[in-house]
Chains A and B, each alone.
Chain A
């Protein structure tokens, strides 16, 4: 089946690194995504990784993928108060050319000054 799990809450100090973890079940997932949601807003696509990659870096964001363990993580370097938000990981569900995304429950990131 398709299921995505995340821890619900993470608190860090400004300037520290944040690591948000996610596990997924569908081994046929080709792309895995990270989205950010700020209060009262929709979802903002942060980054994604293709399943044949182990790592992807995009400025302060680093995505690590362990396909064997079906584990995905998002590292935010030099975390700022503006990074406080809910972070969702998502896998592309279904077969073929589909836009269906399966989301985790979201991790609330709290950044303390």
Chain B
């Protein structure tokens, strides 16, 4: 079974631009979560989607948004990019209904804002 895939793997953007990152979960997984990883703040939860609905949201400004499609694929968008948005963005999928909630992570998208 294929793992979680994220595209693109690397991205360079300029301050003020916007960016869209994509995540395809493991087949059969309906829950997708997004995390931001930076050297200073570590791993921080952005949001979680299930059945096209945002179920949980972390403490990030409104410039960060996401959505989930009917095939469980998810996208996250960051508008008006700031230098501090440079990070590794990780997506994780899990099988809803599994009480253990094992989350499987993709390789991440490395975003650099200049």
A residues near B, CB below 8 A? 30-31, 33, 35, 40-45, 48, 50, 88, 92-94, 97-106
Contact = CB atoms under 8 A, between A and B. Distances in A.
B55 A101 contact: no
B101 A103 contact: no
Contacts of B102: 45, 48
A110 B92 CA distance: 26
Contacts of A33: 103
Of B50, B101, B105, most A-chain CB atoms within 10 Å: B101
Nearest to B93: A99
Nearest to B41: A105
B56 interface: yes
Interface in B80-104: 90, 92, 94, 96, 99-104
Interface of B is mostly: strand
A98 B43 contact: no
B43 A103 contact: yes
Contacts of A35: 105
A46 to B, nearest CB: 11
Contact of B105 (A40, A42, A48, A97): A42
Contacts of B24: none
**B-side interface size class:** 20 to 34
B83 to A, nearest CB: 22
B58 interface: yes
A90 B92 CA distance: 14
B56 A94 contact: yes
Contacts of B48: 98-100
9 contacts: A42-B105, A43-B90, A48-B102, A97-B101, A99-B33, A99-B94, A99-B103, A100-B45, A103-B35
B100 A98 contact: no
Contacts of B42: 103-106
B31 interface: yes
B66 interface: no
